Amino acid sequence: MSQISLSSIDSSLIEEISSKRNEPNWLREYRKNSLSVYHDLPAEVSPLYNKYTDARKMNPEQVSLSTSSDSSVPDFLAKRLDEIKNEISIVQIGSNIHSININDELKSNGLVISSLDDALQNHSELIQKALEDSNSKEDKYTALNNAAFNSGVFVYVPQNLTLDKPIHLISCLSLDGISTISRNIIIAEKNTHASIVQELYAPKTSKQQAYLELLNTRIGENSKLDFTTFQIMDQSAVNFSTRRTHLAQDAKINWYLGLFGSMLSRYRIEYHLNGTGAAVNDAVVIFGNNDQSFDLNIIVNHNAQSTEGKIVEKSILKDTSKSLFKGMVRINEQAGQSKSFLSGRSILLSKGARSDSIPGLEIFTNDVKATHSASVAQVDDEQIFYLGTRCLSHSEAERIIVEGFLEPLSRIMSYQVRAWLANIIESKWMNTELTINMDDQLKSIVEVEETRYNENEEVEQHYKYR
């Protein structure tokens, strides 16, 4: 079909998407109902946050939609795809699944990595349940995704499976300027352990091109999932992501989110700790320059006893970039003996940069521990002066201060993730193309990170030589 703008979206696009994919009737109705909700809702549903939302910076006149898009691999992505060709991976270019790599042993053990279209055919009950778990009335862009998703990724980790290597999810916008609306679903059954690394890319374009994502994650009993997202899209693009995670008894998720690219990033992240002992550890790093804008909303719902939540967001902002951190911890009546911590902290490296933090608590029971904090400040001139006396330039001094600012956050990450993060931040400082890679240049970083935080090493050596 011909392209249409987001501002002109109507039921004809929904009908064409459903017909092209031969979707069941329940899904067609689901799409139509969600489209109606999308048209009715404002950009920000919560009156608390309406004043602060940046979602309106997306221009619906420029965002183009279609049932198909160019599947060509951009030149800047070719090297990265070559590096992961032997890794467990799925690559999405625009609305097309470019490649899937999974070995026969993992397939025989029940691991599933597929497009959402294939999952609708082969795992229809799981997909229907995941789709219906999403309430379109909660958010305008949740409704948009439920109505008009034209692609998606499905990952299923069966019961008792432990993966030694990460699953790589690579998504890149297409070269023809068509935006992507992706519906991604991750399910980890009980007694599983897996790691996922997601990378988001976009080519440079003359008008806004959007990657709109809705990601549902469900983690079974006594399972652990490490999920890392690096958003390193070109600053001509827009990235909206809504993420909803359900955790069963003793389930745990470590979620690391690095936002570095796009002109506007809007992330709405919600955790539901539904089982006793469930835990979430969410760490967010934002590095903005030029006129980038980051709009982050994280909600933690404690729905069972002895659950734990830790949300830490740190922003580094230069030029006229801007961040909004909106957080809420909600401990419900049945969630006694739970613990939760919410923190948003920002460093402003330029006078034109700005950061707003709005942390909140809603406590409906006793015998809990919950706290929140927020701070926004410029770099301390005394620290700059002190480092200057050690023969460091102003820029070098700022970098050391920023490294120290991020260090407590990076300590909880794996060695490889720290190395990738260091490489992206280096590229951001140098104002060069953002990318992550596995080549020899990172080996030295990994070697340093593997020994840097061995806090028991000195004690062990002391006893060894006595």
Whole-number average pLDDT of the chain: 87
Question: Are 64 and 209 within one domain?
Answer: yes
Is residue 444 scored above 50 in pLDDT? yes
Is residue 412 scored above 70 in pLDDT? no
Question: Are 322 and 185 within one domain?
Answer: yes
Place of tokens 């600053």: 235
Question: Are 435 and 448 within one domain?
Answer: yes
- 139-143 mean pLDDT: 90
Helix boundaries (H) for 60-165:
75-83, 104-108, 116-122, 124-132, 140-148
Question: Are 122 and 156 within one domain?
Answer: yes
Question: Are 404 and 347 within one domain?
Answer: no
- Say how far apart CA 292 and CA 294 lie, in whole Å: 7
Question: Are 304 and 409 within one domain?
Answer: no
- 403-429 mean pLDDT: 76
Give the lowest-confidence range in 1-5, 95-99, 112-116. 1-5
Domain that holds residue 390: 386-466
Question: Are 175 and 112 within one domain?
Answer: yes
Which amino acid would we find at residue 65?
Answer: L
Last residue of a domain, which of 343, 370, 385? 385
Q: Of 399, 342, 347, which is closest to residue 375 (Cα–Cα)?
A: 347
Q: Is this model's pTM higher than 0.85 or not?
A: yes
Q: 91 CB contacts (<8 Å, ≥6 apart)? A: 81, 97, 98, 99, 100, 170, 172
pLDDT band at 438 (very low <50, low <70, confident <90, very high): low
- 132-150 mean pLDDT: 89
Q: Of 218, 154, 230, 165, which is closest to residue 195 (Cα–Cα)?
A: 165
- Helix 11-21 to helix 25-40 angle, to the nearest 10 degrees? 160
Q: What are the pLDDT digits (tens) for 354-398?
A: 998 888 999 999 899 999 888 888 888 888 888 888 888 888 788
Is residue 439 scored above 70 in pLDDT? no
- Say how far apart CA 257 and CA 423 lie, in whole Å: 15
Last residue of a domain, which of 385, 419, 447? 385
- What is the structure's pLDDT at 463? 44
- Say how far apart CA 381 and CA 136 lie, in whole Å: 48
| Bridge partners for 327 per DSSP | 298, 359
Question: Are 378 and 393 within one domain?
Answer: no
Give the lowest-confidence range in 41-55, 164-178, 274-288, 321-335. 41-55
Joined tokens for residue 94: 């625009």
Question: Are 245 and 392 within one domain?
Answer: no
Give the lowest-confidence range in 3-12, 146-155, 323-332. 3-12
pLDDT band at 43 (very low <50, low <70, confident <90, very high): confident
Question: Are 362 and 304 within one domain?
Answer: yes
Joined tokens for residue 203: 């080519």
3-state SS, residue 105: helix
Question: Are 242 and 275 within one domain?
Answer: yes
Joined tokens for residue 180: 């992507």
Which amino acid would we find at residue 396?
Answer: E
Last residue of a domain, which of 337, 362, 385? 385
pLDDT greater at residue 52 or residue 111: 111
Structurally, the chain folds into a number of domains equal to 2
Question: Are 329 and 422 within one domain?
Answer: no
